[in-house]
Amino acid sequence: MKLTYPHTLALVTGASRGIGKSIAQALAQEGLTVLCVSRSEAGCQDTLAAIAESGGTAHALAVDVADPDAVEAACKTINDRWGAVSILVNNAGITADNLLLRMKNKEWDDVLATNLSSCFYWCRGLVSGMTQKRWGRIVNITSVSGLRGNAGQANYAAAKAGMIGFTKSIARELASRNITANAVAPGFIQTDMTHGLSEDIKEKILPHIPLKRFGVAADISAMVTFLCAQEANFITGQTFTVDGGMVM
C-alpha cells in the first residue's frame, strides 16, 4: 500500500540511534522533513547522514526531553523556523533498573521524567500547530513492560504504563481536531538499550517469543510509519504490541 502524508513536518525524539533512528529514516523515506531530537546535536549526525544519503531531509536538535523549559524553548524555535509539526513521535527513553528496595529516588525520577513527562511536554508544546492544521499524528513508544510489568523495572513499567493512559486521554481530547494519538509497545528489540543484557537473560527471554527471534528497529518503524499516515485516520487511543507474539 502506498501511504500518504498530507503535511510534511515530523519530529522524532531519541533519534540518534536504535528505534528512533529507524523511525526517523523511515519517515524521511516517505518524503517527510524530520526533526531529530537527542541530547546533543552531534548525537543525531549519523541519522542525518543516513537520511541525506537516501535523498531525504532532516535536521538535528539538541534537547533534553526531561527538561520542561528546554522542550518549551525548542517548540518555540521549531515553530518560528519550520512551522507546525504535524507528526510527533515520542520515542526517547532510558532505563535505570533496580529492585524496588534498592531503587534510588534519582532512578525513579529520571526514568519517569525521560519516558513519561517528556511526552506531556512535547504534546503540550506542539499540539496547537496540529490543531490549526486540523490534522495531526502522535505516536508514543511505550513497552511490553508497561503492559505486564517486569521485576526490576518498577520505574520503567510505571512510566510506560503511564504513557498508555496519557495516550488514551489525549486521543479522546484531540479527536475532534482530527489529531490521532496511539502507542506502540515494542517487545525485545536489538538496540543499545538491550545490548547490555547478559546472554543468560537473552536465552531466558527467547523461548517466550513465539516468532523465535528478537526484534529489530525496523519492525517498530514499520508500525509507526503506518500510524503516522493518512491511511491510519480511523485509529486512535490504541496500543499496538510489536513483540513477536510475546504478549497476547
Closest CA to 10 of 69, 222, 29: 29
Which value, to the nearest 10 degrees, does the dihedral of the CA atoms of residues 38, 238, 110, 214 take?
Answer: -70
Q: Check: CB of residue 62 under 8 Å from CB of residue 43.
A: yes
**Contacts to ligand NAP from residues 111-140, by CB under 6 A:** 114-115
**Contacts to ligand NAP from residues 208-247, by CB under 6 A:** none
65 contact partners, CB below 8 Å, separation of at least 6 = 13, 14, 37, 71, 90, 92, 114, 118, 121, 122
For ligand NAP, give the closer residue by CB, 25 or 135: 25
Q: Supply 31's cell numbers.
A: 518524503
**Among the options 121, 122, 135, 156, which is catalytic?**
156
Q: Supply 210's cell numbers.
A: 513465539
Q: Is the dihedral of CA 101, 65, 183, 30 positive or negative?
A: negative
Q: How far apart are CA 33 and CA 157, in angstroms?
A: 32
Q: How far is the CB of 93 from ligand NAP (least distance, A)?
A: 2
Q: Check: CB of residue 19 under 8 Å from CB of residue 36.
A: no
For ligand NAP, give the closer residue by CB, 174 or 193: 193
Q: Would you call 121 a catalytic residue per the annotation?
A: no
Among 25, 38, 86, 167, binds ligand NAP (CB under 6 A): 38
For ligand NAP, give the closer residue by CB, 86 or 221: 221
Q: How far is the CB of 8 from ligand NAP (least distance, A)?
A: 23
Q: State yes or no: residue 88 binds ligand NAP (CB under 6 A).
A: no
Q: How far is the CB of 191 from ligand NAP (least distance, A)?
A: 3
Q: State yes or no: residue 45 binds ligand NAP (CB under 6 A).
A: no
Q: State yes or no: residue 16 binds ligand NAP (CB under 6 A).
A: yes
* Chain contacts with ligand NAP (rule: CB under 6 A): 13-20, 37-40, 43, 64-66, 91-94, 114-115, 141, 143, 186, 188-189, 191-194
* Residues designated catalytic: 156
